[in-house]
Amino acid sequence: MPMNRPTSTVARYVLIEARRSALPWLAAACVLAALGLAGFLSQVAITESAALQASACAALLRACAVFLLAMHVIASVVREANDKGLELALALPLSRPAWYLGKLLGFVATGALMSLLFALPLLAWSRPADLAAWSLALAAESAVIAAAALFFATALGQTVAAIAAVLGLYVLARSMAAIQAIAGGALADEGAAGQAARWLVDGLALLLPKLDAMPRADWLLYGAASGAELAKALAGLAVYFVLLTAAGLFDFSRRNL
């Protein structure tokens, strides 16, 4: 795989672009909003106020991280394509896989930095070990989102379509376990239509990552998942990350620009 100097150069420019864009300000605004929410909750809670603050802030920051990163990746890639920057980059001695992997590496690093920043305000209510696991899981989830956003932005080429695809994938992945559980219940229709619906749900689940399992705010309240469970969940996300990367590389390599 071409993980060499051109790749790292592209990744470095992605990080520079992220630093010079509004992303750091928006991330800081999210942290401030989370702290404001915590302050409000501390005024209205009559019990478990620390748990309420930690869980609400963690859930809010997780959603902010996913949303901000997906928007940033899609806006950056579509803008570069529209400005003909992509053609210019590929006119240089830079292979398509090197460009794609460099972009992905840069966006993954951006997501990891944002996960680290978003973990900081939660230090006030959580044990460092639990928070480290939460932050690591958020970085892994961000990496999957970055890979999905890059794939859809390059494949679809339109901002709105790519945003819809990424958010749809995210919501479906987060709710798929509950959908499967409901579909397999005792009251589910036993007829052909019910069976077909269950097969469809099971088939769809095979093509989605298990984003519902991590990072969960209850880790900050009751302790993070065990090392083995965390490793298993991270491995599942890693498999999906590689799948999205391979699919993106395949599509981008076949594209006539």
Q: Which residues bind other proteins (CB under 8 A)?
A: 1, 78, 81-82, 86, 97, 154, 156-158, 161, 176-178, 180-182, 184-188, 202, 205-208, 210, 235-236, 239-240, 242-243, 245-247, 249-250, 253-257
Reduced to 3 states, what is the DSSP secondary structure of residue 127?
coil
Report the distance separating Cα 224 and Cα 196, nearest Å: 37
Reduced to 3 states, what is the DSSP secondary structure of residue 163?
helix
Nearer to other proteins among residue 116 and residue 179 (C-beta): 179
Minimum distance from CB of 157 to other proteins (Å)?
4
Report the distance separating Cα 183 and Cα 197, nearest Å: 8
Minimum distance from CB of 97 to other proteins (Å)?
7
Nearer to other proteins among residue 33 and residue 90 (C-beta): 90
Nearer to other proteins among residue 129 and residue 207 (C-beta): 207
Evaluate the omega torsion of the peptide bond into residue 2 and state whether it is cis, within 30 degrees of 0.
no
C-alpha dist (Å) from residue 189 to 77, 192, 256? 45, 8, 47
How many of the other CB atoms lie within 10 Å of CB of 128?
10
Q: Where are the alpha helices (DSSP H) in 1-48?
A: 5-20, 23-44
Minimum distance from CB of 113 to other proteins (Å)?
26
Nearer to other proteins among residue 52 and residue 114 (C-beta): 52
Minimum distance from CB of 55 to other proteins (Å)?
12
Minimum distance from CB of 136 to other proteins (Å)?
19
Residues 3, 253, 158, CA angle at the centre, nearest 5°? 105
Nearer to other proteins among residue 3 and residue 29 (C-beta): 3
Give first-to-last CA distance, the chain, whole Å.
22
Reduced to 3 states, what is the DSSP secondary structure of residue 41?
helix
Report the distance separating Cα 108 and Cα 66, nearest Å: 12
Nearer to other proteins among residue 114 and residue 163 (C-beta): 163
Minimum distance from CB of 168 to other proteins (Å)?
14
Nearer to other proteins among residue 52 and residue 119 (C-beta): 52
Instruction: Give me the residue label for tokens 């309240």.
Output: 221
Contacts of 166 (CB under 8 A, 6+ apart): 70, 74, 145, 148, 149, 152
